């Protein structure tokens, strides 16, 4: 704040980025780039990565089952904004003009968004509460266990004592579109599949809210408690930090953003399948956080953009190049190789390379950097034995 | 067989009762109720029950071999070697490649399959086992050198993240090698029932015997190695206290490598047997099977070799019982639930070795 340069950095850069984000649909239209769909999906992953960043980056708890909250959020929208429960006929503020006459439950997306966040947070606490006394690596495995159980439950959920709760591998289809009543534009009254602008601005607002909440959390009393717990649990407890509530808040808040992202994604894609919530997704999100820089909000956003950009744009592009080279060299192997299929090789390699070479990520959080580099010097006895 | 199994469960519940907190009492009640339910089934259809128990034993043997790899490594450097399950997958791929006789487009010998002669089959299986064991052992040592060794002084989570990265790298090596479809194994071991002439009710196939006939010598050899050789003694010393071991002139790095080598060897054997036993393998089998094995290692008490075997067999039996009495689709969920329950309520496992609860290391 002192110098104009600092305040420019503090307010100018974010303001510029927000302006760019606001104008993006127009830029996209002028350039004819047709990037709306991938950008919306990237934004969903930015939210997920920011959610995981609270758990992994701020509180230092490795969560390998984050996809579970994403899935729970998506299923909340799937259950309560589709014809799935065809035995019931219930409608609440739904954007669908005919919702009253349709079977199933149709609740307004905005209500469900909040419900999805709350539901995910609830499960975050359920998962977190019994596991928090475990040491870091065991905690990671327990979260992985939950992350595996929940999608499998959704797969098997078409026959729970004969009741079809989740429609199994077929998934839930025909999820209602959100809509904002009382606006003149029809495209906003019920979001359509052709005009993606309403979707874009919705997720943009969600991402901005997420970023804002993250920044405020990081600088709050709770955020400082997270950092204290991450650095040294015993010292933090001795200083009066309540370990259990502090960690539970991290779980619950991280899960909330996972739930929001899932709810939006479910409504946007309109159909959800349990197979889209596999362990791979958890690792992809973790990779975003690690690549960008654990604990650094801007780093995590950058990580999400880089990795999803790689998924959507870079790998298909490389694939085309390799195919061209293969055709030119008349090598059938190169001409037919399917490079995007091996994207997780890249993500695995990124995890290994980052941990070996730059564990603090592209844009490091300074405190985190110190912690991760600390082991390079001598005193590592506490880390090896895990004793506290 | 059935009675000894029940006795074993009974013993551990008694031990739990002494700890006697509310959670352990509930656990005892639940385990007792499940045991009674199983016994009811056992009395109602003894043949089916015994067959399931034997299948569980065989599956458990395969899981136990992987679990030993987790436990050996964890016992020494306290790392959950997440890539271990995928190393197991590589083992099964090596096995199927050896049996096909073709590698990198070069045909070395005619494929060994169901139509081959008996001697060739035996040779083929042994050869596949040995090659897979060597390859997996070396892969495991290589991973340790490249990915884990530079991080030996880093925070534990950094190494775990590296291990997850290695797991995905191996998985994609498998994907590039054999593609995403299920890979059929030649049926070299007979599916016929050994007991066909004796009783029709109980099924114990040559396959099951084969798995046990490979596993038991491996376990005996491992036990001999750890107990009686100099290197085994060094491993136990390093597991107890790295610094003190180093001061006594033990080469800690080499000992850690040996632990990874042993784990890889067992995973390789397990991978080939898994393929021959189930008739198929796939590039992402490592995650599920690896988690099962990790569950087994934790259930028995991680770092504890006997525990890994006991845990493996228990997990195999829990899995086969779930297959039979609850439904195959719920097996994964049941075993992952066991994983969570054990980690949360009894992190040092049934036989107990190293505590997973923070500050409760006891060493």
pLDDT of residue B86: 94
Residue B5 clears pLDDT 60, i.e. is over it:
no
In a domain, A9, yes or no: no
Strand partners, B280: B184
Specify the range with the lowest mean pLDDT, choosing from B13-22, B35-44, B200-209: B13-22
Residues 278-337 of chain B whose Cβ lies under 8 A from any Cβ of chain A: 287, 291, 294, 298, 329-330, 332-333, 336-337
Are A299 and A60 contacting, i.e. CB atoms less than 8 angstroms apart?
Answer: no
pLDDT of residue A374: 61
Percent of chain B topping pLDDT 70? 90
| CA–CA gap between residue A354 and residue A360 (Å, rounded) | 8
Are A108 and A93 contacting, i.e. CB atoms less than 8 angstroms apart?
Answer: yes
pLDDT classification of B19: cutoffs 50, 70, 90: low
pLDDT classification of B343: cutoffs 50, 70, 90: confident
pLDDT of residue B163: 92
pLDDT of residue A316: 85
pLDDT classification of A378: cutoffs 50, 70, 90: very low
**What residues of chain B lie within 8 A of the CB of A130, using their CB?**
344-345
Measured between CB atoms, which of A144, A345, A386 is closest to B156? Answer: A386
pLDDT of residue A380: 41
CB atoms within 10 A of CB A189: 17
pLDDT of residue B4: 44
For A357, the domain range is: 35-385
Instruction: Please state the three-class secondary structure of chain B as a single string.
Output: CHHHHHHHHHHHHHHHHHHCCHHHHHHHHHHHHHHHHHHHHHHHCHHHHHHHHHHHHHHHHHHHHHHHHHHHHHHHHCCCCCCHHHHHHHHHHHHHHHHHCEECCEECCCCCCCCCCHHHHHHHHHHHHHHHHHHHHHHHHHHHHHHHHHHCCCCHHHHHHHHHHHHHHHHHHHHHHHCCCCEECCCCCCCCEHHHHCCCCCCCEHHHHHHHHHHHHHHHHHHHHHHHCHHHHHHHHHHHCHHHHHHCCCCHHHHHHHHHHHHHHHHHHHHHHHHHHHCEECCCHHHHHHHHHHHHHHHHCCCCHHHHHHHHHHHHHHHHHHHHHCCHHHHHHHHHHHHHHHHHHCCCCCCCCCCCECCCCCC
**What residues of chain A lie within 8 A of the CB of B143, using their CB?**
none
Do the bridges between strand B106-107 and strand B102-103 make them parallel or antiparallel, or are there none, so unpaired?
antiparallel
In a domain, A172, yes or no: yes
pLDDT of residue B357: 36
**What residues of chain A lie within 8 A of the CB of B256, using their CB?**
none
pLDDT of residue A98: 65
**What residues of chain A lie within 8 A of the CB of B330, using their CB?**
156
Taking an 8 Å cut-off on Cβ atoms, the answer to whether B333 and A153 are in contact is yes
DSSP A33: -
Residues 223-252 of chain B whose Cβ lies under 8 A from any Cβ of chain A: 242
The pLDDT tens digits of the residues spanning A119-138 come to: 999 999 988 887 777 877 88
**What residues of chain B lie within 8 A of the CB of A359, using their CB?**
154, 158
Sign of the torsion formed by the C-alpha atoms of B328, B330, B333 and B338: negative
What would the mean pLDDT of A211-233 be, rounded to a whole number? 90
CB atoms within 10 A of CB A320: 11
pLDDT of residue A127: 84
**What residues of chain B lie within 8 A of the CB of A141, using their CB?**
80, 294, 298, 339, 343
| CA–CA gap between residue B97 and residue A216 (Å, rounded) | 56
In a domain, A59, yes or no: yes
CB atoms within 10 A of CB B53: 21
Question: Reduced to 3 states, what is the DSSP secondary structure of residue A317?
Answer: helix
pLDDT of residue A19: 86
pLDDT classification of A52: cutoffs 50, 70, 90: very high
Of A10 and B169, more confident: B169
ipTM, two decimals: 0.84
What would the mean pLDDT of B141-154 be, rounded to a whole number? 90
Instruction: Name the most confidently modeled range: A42-56, A133-147, A171-185.
Output: A42-56
Residue B190 clears pLDDT 90, i.e. is over it:
no
> Counting every residue, how long is chain A?
388
| CA–CA gap between residue B205 and residue A230 (Å, rounded) | 53
Residue A73 clears pLDDT 90, i.e. is over it:
yes
Taking an 8 Å cut-off on Cβ atoms, the answer to whether B358 and A279 are in contact is no
pLDDT of residue B316: 93
Taking an 8 Å cut-off on Cβ atoms, the answer to whether B160 and A155 are in contact is no
**Side-chain-facing half-sphere of B227: CA atoms under 13 Å:** 8
pLDDT of residue B20: 60
Sequence-separated (6 or more) residues with CB below 8 Å from residue B144: B256, B257, B260
CA B272 from chain centre, in angstroms, equals 12
Asked if the C-beta of B203 comes within 8 angstroms of chain A's C-beta atoms, the answer is no
pLDDT of residue A335: 78
Residue B359 clears pLDDT 50, i.e. is over it:
no
Residue B2 clears pLDDT 50, i.e. is over it:
no
Of B178 and A380, more confident: B178
Sign of the torsion formed by the C-alpha atoms of A189, A193, A197 and A203: positive
Percent of chain A topping pLDDT 70? 91
pLDDT of residue A97: 65
What would the mean pLDDT of B185-208 be, rounded to a whole number? 79
Q: Give alpha helix (H) positions in A94-135.
A: 109-131
Residue B292 clears pLDDT 60, i.e. is over it:
yes
pLDDT classification of A250: cutoffs 50, 70, 90: very high
Best of B76, B142, B168, B322 to mutate (most A CBs within 10 Å, chain A): B168
The pLDDT tens digits of the residues spanning B227-281 come to: 889 998 898 888 888 888 899 999 999 999 999 999 999 999 999 999 999 888 9
| CA–CA gap between residue B283 and residue A341 (Å, rounded) | 13
pLDDT of residue A222: 93
Q: Where are the beta strands (DSSP E) in chain A?
A: 81-82, 89-92, 104-107
Task: Quote the tokens at residue A257.
Answer: 């953003």
Alpha-carbon distances, residue A176 vs A113, A155, A169, A179, A366 (angstroms) = 13, 22, 20, 9, 44
Distance from CA of B46 to the nearest CA of A (A): 27
**What residues of chain A lie within 8 A of the CB of B332, using their CB?**
148-149, 152
Residue A210 clears pLDDT 60, i.e. is over it:
yes
Of A116 and A28, more confident: A116
Taking an 8 Å cut-off on Cβ atoms, the answer to whether B361 and A375 are in contact is no
What would the mean pLDDT of A267-272 be, rounded to a whole number? 89
> Counting every residue, how long is chain B?
363
Q: What does R_g of chain A's alpha carbons equal in angstroms?
A: 22
**Side-chain-facing half-sphere of A111: CA atoms under 13 Å:** 12
Task: Quote the tokens at residue B131.
Answer: 């090659």
In a domain, A317, yes or no: yes
Are A155 and A274 contacting, i.e. CB atoms less than 8 angstroms apart?
Answer: yes
pLDDT of residue B112: 76
pLDDT of residue A180: 78
Measured between CB atoms, which of A133, A348, A356 is closest to B172? Answer: A348
Specify the range with the lowest mean pLDDT, choosing from A157-161, A324-328, B53-57, B103-107: B103-107
Q: Domains in chain A: how many in total?
A: 1
| CA–CA gap between residue A321 and residue A334 (Å, rounded) | 10
Taking an 8 Å cut-off on Cβ atoms, the answer to whether B153 and A380 are in contact is yes
CA B323 from chain centre, in angstroms, equals 19
Residue A244 clears pLDDT 80, i.e. is over it:
yes
In a domain, A10, yes or no: no
pLDDT of residue B26: 80
End-to-end CA distance of chain A: 39
Residue B361 clears pLDDT 50, i.e. is over it:
no
What would the mean pLDDT of A244-268 be, rounded to a whole number? 92
pLDDT of residue B15: 55
Percent of chain A topping pLDDT 90? 27
Are B37 and B220 contacting, i.e. CB atoms less than 8 angstroms apart?
Answer: no
Are B293 and B111 contacting, i.e. CB atoms less than 8 angstroms apart?
Answer: no
**What residues of chain B lie within 8 A of the CB of A233, using their CB?**
358
Residues 153-182 of chain B whose Cβ lies under 8 A from any Cβ of chain A: 153-162, 164-169, 171-173, 175-176, 180
Residue A384 clears pLDDT 70, i.e. is over it:
no
pLDDT of residue A220: 92
Of B65 and A107, more confident: B65
In a domain, A6, yes or no: no
Among A160, A144, A129, which Cα is nearest to A66's? A144
Residue B363 clears pLDDT 50, i.e. is over it:
no
Minimal Cα distance from A345: which residue of B?
B169
**What residues of chain B lie within 8 A of the CB of A356, using their CB?**
147, 150-151, 162
pLDDT of residue B327: 83
pLDDT of residue B169: 94
Residues 301-330 of chain A whose Cβ lies under 8 A from any Cβ of chain B: none
Distance from CA of A292 to the nearest CA of B (A): 14
Strand partners, B102: B107
| CA–CA gap between residue A163 and residue B46 (Å, rounded) | 32
- Mean pLDDT, chain B, integer: 84
pLDDT of residue A48: 94
pLDDT of residue A114: 93
**What residues of chain B lie within 8 A of the CB of A384, using their CB?**
78, 153, 242
């Amino acid at each position: 704040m002192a110098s104009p340069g600092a305040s420019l950095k503090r307010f100018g850069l974010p303001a510029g980025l927000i302006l760019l984000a606001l104008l993006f649909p127009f830029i996209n239209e002028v350039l004819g780039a047709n990037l709306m769909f991938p950008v919306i999906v990237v934004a969903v992953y930015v939210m997920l990565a920011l959610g995981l960043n609270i758990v992994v980056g701020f509180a230092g708890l490795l969560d390998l089952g984050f996809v579970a909250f994403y899935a729970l959020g998506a299923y909340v929208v799937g259950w309560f904004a589709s014809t799935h429960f065809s035995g019931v006929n219930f409608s609440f503020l739904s954007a669908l003009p005919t919702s009253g006459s349709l079977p199933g439950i149709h609740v307004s997306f905005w209500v469900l968004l909040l419900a999805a966040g709350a539901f995910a947070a609830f499960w975050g606490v359920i998962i977190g509460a019994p596991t928090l006394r475990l040491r870091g690596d065991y905690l990671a495995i327990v979260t992985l266990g939950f992350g595996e159980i929940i999608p499998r439950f959704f797969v098997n959920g078409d026959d729970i004592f004969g009741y079809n709760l989740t429609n199994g591998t077929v998934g839930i289809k025909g999820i209602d579109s959100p809509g904002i009543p009382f606006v003149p534009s029809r495209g906003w009254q019920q979001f359509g599949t052709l005009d993606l602008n309403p979707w874009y601005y919705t997720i943009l607002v969600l991402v901005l809210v997420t970023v804002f909440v993250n920044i405020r959390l990081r600088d709050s009393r709770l955020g400082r408690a997270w950092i204290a717990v991450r650095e040294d649990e015993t010292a933090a407890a001795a200083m009066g930090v309540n370990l259990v509530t502090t960690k539970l808040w991290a779980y619950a808040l991280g899960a909330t953003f996972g739930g929001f992202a899932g709810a939006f994604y479910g409504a946007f894609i309109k159909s959800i399948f349990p197979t889209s919530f596999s362990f791979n997704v958890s690792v992809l999100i973790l990779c975003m956080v690690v690549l960008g820089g654990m604990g650094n909000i801007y780093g995590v956003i950058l990580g999400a953009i880089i990795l999803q950009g790689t998924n959507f744009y870079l790998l298909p592009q490389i694939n085309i190049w390799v195919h061209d080279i293969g055709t030119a060299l008349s090598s059938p192997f190169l001409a037919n190789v399917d490079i995007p299929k091996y994207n997780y090789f890249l993500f695995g390699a990124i995890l290994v390379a980052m941990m070996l070479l730059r564990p603090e990520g592209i844009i490091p959080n300074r405190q985190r950097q110190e912690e991760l580099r600390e082991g390079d010097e001598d005193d590592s006895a506490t880390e090896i034995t895990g004793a506290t | 067989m059935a009675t000894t199994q029940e006795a074993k469960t009974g013993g551990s519940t008694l031990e739990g009762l002494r700890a006697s907190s509310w959670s352990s009492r509930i656990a005892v009640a639940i385990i007792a109720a499940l045991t009674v339910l199983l016994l009811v089934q056992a009395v109602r259809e003894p043949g089916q029950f015994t067959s399931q128990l034997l299948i569980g034993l065989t599956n458990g043997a395969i899981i136990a071999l992987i679990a030993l790899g987790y436990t050996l490594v964890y016992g020494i450097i306290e790392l959950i070697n997440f890539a271990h399950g995928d190393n197991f997958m590589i083992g099964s791929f090596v096995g199927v490649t050896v049996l096909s006789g073709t590698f990198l487009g070069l045909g070395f010998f005619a494929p060994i399959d169901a139509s081959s002669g008996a001697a060739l089959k035996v040779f083929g299986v042994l050869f596949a086992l040995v090659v897979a064991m060597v390859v997996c052992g070396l892969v495991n040592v290589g991973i340790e050198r490249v990915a884990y060794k530079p991080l030996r002084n880093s925070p534990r989570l950094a190494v775990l993240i590296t291990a997850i990265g290695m797991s995905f790298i191996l998985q994609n090596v498998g994907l590039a090698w054999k593609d995403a479809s299920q890979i059929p194994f030649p049926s070299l071991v007979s599916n016929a029932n050994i007991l066909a002439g004796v009783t029709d009710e109980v099924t114990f196939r040559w396959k099951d015997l084969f798995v046990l006939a490979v596993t038991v010598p491996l376990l005996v050899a491992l036990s001999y190695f750890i107990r009686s050789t100099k290197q085994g003694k060094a491993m136990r010393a390093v597991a107890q206290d790295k610094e003190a071991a180093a001061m006594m002139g033990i080469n800690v790095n080499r000992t850690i490598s040996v632990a990874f080598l042993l784990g890889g060897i067992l995973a390789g054997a397990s991978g080939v047997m898994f393929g021959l036993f189930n008739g198929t393998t796939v590039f992402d089998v490592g995650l599920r099977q690896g988690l099962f094995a990790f569950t087994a290692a934790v259930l028995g008490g991680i770092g504890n070799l006997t525990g890994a075997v006991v845990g493996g067999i228990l997990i195999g039996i829990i899995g086969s019982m779930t297959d039979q009495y609850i439904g195959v689709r719920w097996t994964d969920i049941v075993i992952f639930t066991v994983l969570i329950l054990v980690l949360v309520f009894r992190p040092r496992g049934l036989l107990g070795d190293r505590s997973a609860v923070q500050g409760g290391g006891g060493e």
